[in-house]
Amino acid sequence: MTDPVTRLSIDGYIATLTFARPDKRNAMNDALVADLDAFFSNPPEGVRVAILHGEGGHFCSGLDLSEHKQRSPEDTMRHSRNWHRVADAIEFGGLPVVSALTGAVIGGGLEIATATHVRIAEPSVRFQLPEGRRGIFVGGGATVRVGRILGADRMREMMLTGRSYGAEDGLRLGLCHYAVAEGEALPMARDLARKIADNAPFSNYLMIQALSRIEDMSRSDGLFTESLSAAMAQTTDAAREGLAAFLEKRAPKFRG
């Protein structure tokens, strides 16, 4: 038997998946990727929002180099493409995902974080892409996800120099959405998760599925897709409940 690399807890509509390799600063290995895959490919019934965070003061310090294997180009590409598939399951699986970030958010850890939809960073956070100092290249989706946040120019400088950013700089650059005091990331993640869970589930689903894809589209295709999404959302029972609640000055009650 091997020690588990993640722990799952469920509180009502909210699932919290904790990276549990504190002695490795929650470095990413194949077992951790497999746990992410298993959870996001088949979320527990009734869960509406997920929270990711790391045990022991760090979110994830990137690829576990102690387990790094000498792979052929073909095997390396397959390994990278599997990471892409799992990160896509996080971003597009249908669950809103909030990440509570502490300590190392490095390499693969930053790739996982930027696949989440709401990112909260404490002062201990260090965002970094140190692949240049390791003689390797990003392979878990950073060129797309981090690159779209920072732009190719700033990401290139970050990789070439090994530069790291703290929470306040990360907030300014868009690597996180909130910068909070020490010890506040996970409580805030839980508060925001509860608010998100109270939204109409189909509206949440459309926001997750449509917005990133619209960014990839031409202007006219994006506007057309927006109209389709609006037509689908605004003709549901949830939309009728939302309007009735607004007019009646009460909180809406959305069914799953």
Question: What does the pLDDT read at residue 115?
Answer: 98
| Residue 67 among the catalytic residues | no
Catalytic residue among 67, 111, 168, 248: 111
Question: What does the pLDDT read at residue 135?
Answer: 86
CA–CA distance, 57 with 25 (Å, rounded to integer)? 8
Question: What does the pLDDT read at residue 237?
Answer: 86
Q: Give residue-wise pLDDT tens across range 52-82.
A: 999 999 999 998 877 766 788 898 899 899 9
Single-letter amino acid, residue 254: F
Question: What does the pLDDT read at residue 66?
Answer: 75
Name the nearest CA neighbour of 104 among 94, 112, 93, 92.
112
Residue 140, classified by CB atoms within 10 Å of its CB into exposed (0-12), middle (13-18) or buried (19+), is buried
pLDDT less than 50: residues of the chain? none
Terminal-residue alpha carbon distance, the chain: 38
Over the Cα atoms of the chain, what is R_g?
Answer: 19
| Residue 182 among the catalytic residues | no
Catalytic residue among 131, 168, 184, 215: 131
Question: What does the pLDDT read at residue 256?
Answer: 62
146, 110, 100, 2: CA torsion to nearest 10: 150
